[in-house]
Amino acid sequence: EAGVTQFPSHSVIEKGQTVTLRCDPISGHDNLYWYRRVMGKEIKFLLHFVKESKQDESGMPNNRFLAERTGGTYSTLKVQPAELEDSGVYFCASSPLGWTDTQYFGPGTRLTVL
């Protein structure tokens, strides 16, 4: 069974540009989460999808961040326009619905904003 995959693995952009990160969850997992780790700090929750619906987006830092999950499969996280403080590693995780608590993480996308 394939794990959670993320694309790209690295992205280097200039301030003001747009970047789109993609996450493919484990097949059949309806829960999908985005987290990020900025500047060596704690990994912080960004948002949570259940299928195609946003269940909790309380961790999204501002309106420059837009997450979508069309059809309840893969998800994208767009940053527009990117700022220096957006640099960090963005992790995606997925889990099945129901009585479960383990989340399965992807390798992350390292974003560098110059």
**List 24, 25, 31, 88, residue binding another protein (CB under 8 A):** 31
Burial of 27 (0-12, 13-18, 19+ CB in 10 A): exposed
Query: Which C-beta is closer to another protein: that of 88 or that of 106?
Result: 106
Q: What is the largest CA-CA distance in the chain?
A: 43
Minimum distance from residue 31 beta carbon to another protein (Å): 5
Q: Are strands 53-56 and 43-50 parallel, antiparallel or unpaired?
A: antiparallel
Query: Which C-beta is closer to another protein: that of 1 or that of 42?
Result: 42
Span interacting with another protein, options 13-21, 42-50, 68-76, 79-87, rule CB under 8 A: 42-50
Report if residue 1 touches another protein, rule: CB under 8 A.
Answer: no
Span interacting with another protein, options 20-28, 39-47, 66-74, 78-86, rule CB under 8 A: 39-47
**Amino acid occupying residue 25:** P
Report if residue 74 touches another protein, rule: CB under 8 A.
Answer: no
Burial 65-87 (b: 16+ CB within 10 A, else e): bebebeeeebbebebeebeeebb
